[in-house]
Amino acid sequence: MAQIELPERGQPLDISYIYKVVQQIRALQDALGTAFSKIKYRDISTPSNVSPSNLVFYAETLKITNGNLSTQTNATSTFSYSGMFKTTPVVICSVTSLDGVSNLTAVLEKVTDSGCSVNIFSPATGGAFSADVSIIAIGERTIS
């Protein structure tokens, strides 16, 4: 997309300049329309007014022992909380108690109402490590 040159201070705006501005706005509108049309939305009922008494918290820590970045680029931990949440909960994760390779990063993946996976990455290219991977999931409780 071409840039429109800025007018000098005090310069009157003429029809050709306004035309260029409108052309660029239309080009931007077309580009955004194309980009937004590629976004996929999931139609899931979201609770609008959840009472704090209907919230449930789930916390778990898994140990990764004998992880080795020389033989695998990441380590995966899978958490299951099936039957606890009515909809997909908000999940946060962290890596604690590091031994060996430092600077590990946790990335959530495949978060659903029944579980999630956490991939552990490091900028290091090799080395053995052990770590604790923790999650906290917060969501609306399943009505029982």
Q: Between residues 21 and 74, which one has the greater pLDDT?
A: 21
Q: Is the dihedral of CA 135, 137, 142, 144 positive or negative?
A: positive
| Total-model pTM | 0.58
| pLDDT tens-digit map of 85-111 | 888 888 888 887 677 776 777 888 888
Q: How far apart are CA 87 and CA 142, in angstroms?
A: 8
Please, are residues 124 and 68 in contact by the beta-carbon 8 Å criterion? Answer: no
**CATH number of this structure's domain 52-140, picked from the four choices 3.40.50.720, 1.10.3720.10, 3.30.200.20, 2.60.40.2080:** 2.60.40.2080
List the single range of 1-15, 22-36, 80-94, 126-140 with lowest mean pLDDT: 1-15
Instruction: Reply yes or no on whether the pLDDT at 1 is more than 60.
Output: no
The ranges assigned to domains in the chain are 1-40, 52-140
DSSP 82-101: TTSBSSPPEEEEEEEEEEES
